[in-house]
Chain A
Amino acid sequence: MAENQRILVCAGTGCASSGALPIIDILIDEIKRQGLEETVSVVGTGCQGFCEKGPTLVIEPQQILYTRVKGEDVAEIIEQELVKGERVERLLLVDQETQKPVSSMADINFFAKQHRIVLHNCGVIDPKKIEDYTAREGYKAIEKALKEMSPEDALEEVKKSGLRGRGGAGFPTGLKWGFCRATPSDKKYIICNADEGDPGAFMDRSVLEGDPHSVIEGMLIGAYAIGADEGYIYCRAEYPLAIKHLGIAIKQAEEAGYLGDNILGSGFNFHLKVFEGAGAFVCGEETALMASIEGKRGMPRVRPPFPAVSGLWGKPTNVNNVETWSNVPHILRKGAEWYTQFGTEKSKGTKIFALTGKVNNTGLVEVPMGTTLREIIFDIGDGIQGGKKFKAVQIGGPSGGCLPEDMLDLAVDYDTLTQAGAMVGSGGLVIMDETTCMVDIARYFLNFTKKESCGKCTPCREGTTRMYEILDRITKGEGKEEDLDTLENLALTIKETSLCALGQSAPNPILATLKYFRHEYEAHIRDHKCPAHNCSALLSYTIDAEKCKMCSLCAKNCPVNCITGDKKTNTPYVIDEDKCIKCGTCMDKCKFGAVTRA
């Protein structure tokens, strides 16, 4: 039995949704019952990244990962692992290749292939304790900056690191800070953009939940370098846990003298507030975000003037996102030279991706820039669920695009992705298989952007709706041959004439799918078929009376009760097409292959 063991239970939003929180309580009770409280401690951490397998917990120092843990498993884990020093095999991860349980995190591809800089503390420390953060070199970077570096030095270091904005466009961070620093003003602001709105991206949330102090420290350094004394963290109200942890962290940092006036006796002042966003994707755009803090409709405004010249309340303002800020303390502590060893020539460091969709290991992964899509999806992500065939990966959310299989060896960085018609964006990677319809995906994203368009400029307001309508008609089999030209023309106009990045990138999902999957559009239009068997209007389900054993399973499971039949009267089971919502449940449930889809 090892001395001083720690049990790290993931309490991020994903695992909490899977029931992690009661497990912490049960663990504590059980440890007490076993009299182990002197040597074993339980820590509720932020996201450990492996959402698919949640709730997860890690035993330290052995680095043993348990997955899909339930309350009733706790006693067994403690008995086996902590008392006897043996594994509970059924709760270990099974390697898809070898089909053997893997116990050590070092042997799990999901973790082994990552390189964690920003996520360095996530899942390892208790985010509610500043001492956990300081114990892992936390706030050393700002101390170093205040004691050993001038603001210019700090700025120079960030410039040299080659760090680029992780929010999407990849603008060089040091350069951006420099603009704001160069604008003379009695007051400057810095803002952390934590309005992570891309559906399918949750890295910022995980960092805020799991390591809030790293963001605060990054902002402190930025404020020092730029000459700002007030900051905001604009966080979505949909992230209650992140807001809570930020609140605790700010209070602790104030008490510890890292925030407030005359920080660490240096004469440098910095005050930080959390602003809860009220639910608008467009507020991820920096001018809309500032309008929102000012209490207005979150409508972007024309740039220039850029925020570095005239931002929040007309003062010079610098906005970076969570992941960007969180990189900064590491850069300052370990130096730009250390940082530049990661990544590609023009994209330095690492990037966090939210790996979701039809992939085996969904979760949060941090890899050096330049890692190929294939490595991320097949090594870390462990390939496609259910042995299906990979079709495409959607990168960068509603602003990004879908890339097909032959681009899997693309090394991911800002420039290569943009060239390929996608973008890094916030870093959502949604994996699609043969059952995903690419027209439907484009329609899905346009439905999203049309709802989230602020309505200010004509092309985005009117155009996204028209593009959606055309796509919707195509998925219903009502498309016309000329629709593709209309779509393409409209998409290009919207791209070139919209006011902000939301509109300018809204057509990307269409342009990329048209580029790589045009045949799917044509199949919908010409043959009235959805090759992925996804678009319900183009599907019909029928029951093959010969194969049907009248078990009634389909009828019982039908959510809309549209299947009738009776074994007693020998009435065959049939599907009422008018009522059917084409959910496919009957087909999934049928054990005899009697339900067919056409």
Chain B
Amino acid sequence: MTNIGLYFSIGIIVIGLLAILRYSLKGKDIDRRIIFLFMFITVASSLLFKMEFPEKPTLIVKKVFNKIENLPEGSRILISFDFDPAMKPEVMPMANAFVRHCMVKKHKLYIMTLWATGQALMLESIEEVLKPEFPDAVYGEDYTSLGFKAGGVGVLNVIITDFRKMYATDEHGTPLDEIPLFAEVTSAKDMDLILPIGGGAPGPKEWILFVGDPGKVPIAPGLAAVVAPLIYPYYPKQAIGLLGGVKGAAEYESELLRNYDQFKDMDTPALSMMGPQTMAHIVIIAFIIIGNITYFRKRRMNDNA
């Protein structure tokens, strides 16, 4: 049944593209609202009729996975949710994959956010992934959350030397000194790995500049696609690896699935998002080609005239 729907919608898209191609051969530009409509149909139809593709992890993602995999049990890992609902579909899968991986490896998890709008998303990850999937995890002993603080780099500049000065209490109002996870932790330098997830400022770049570099803490950022190219220069010295966009997240999810049987039923939003992604990419590529045909046609017609 789904196959029929899928072929049908692909058919419509292809016929539509051909019609535009014919139009563009006359050297005319199409209204951009038609392009908008195409994008809508493409993404909607490929969502409706599920498509999934296998993912092979690239080296840069594998390095992050191996780092978490090979850290000794009980290592301290800090995850920072530096994003808002607008970036959520892209980076939330990474955050959840990191949480799962850290918990299954029995690392100690420290969760925080530099974005006011990240607070609710941080909670969502704790409530919907961490607690139900790892019911044995004890708050304060296996994981803790510091919540949001305003100030961005100002916050980072303080926690690089002293957590308690910035956070008198955790998110629930418990003083840090009463939380076992903070018993031996003074500053962000005591972390074994930091996983900043985000795509704006303050975000992964600030973590590298203000915590990773001065404190020599390994950083493995999970990035929205828009900033990923920007973070490449920091790899591999200042960032041990990175996850870029949904594809990075999908590769990480597939690594988790491959290595841990217990995750075989987990939801894999990034992997399932790769279907619509692929279709949309193909349509965009088609539009680039059509655009160039129009351009050369137009130029030829002007030359002849």
- A associates with B: no
| Chain A residues close to B by CB (< 8 Å) | none
| Chain B residues close to A by CB (< 8 Å) | none
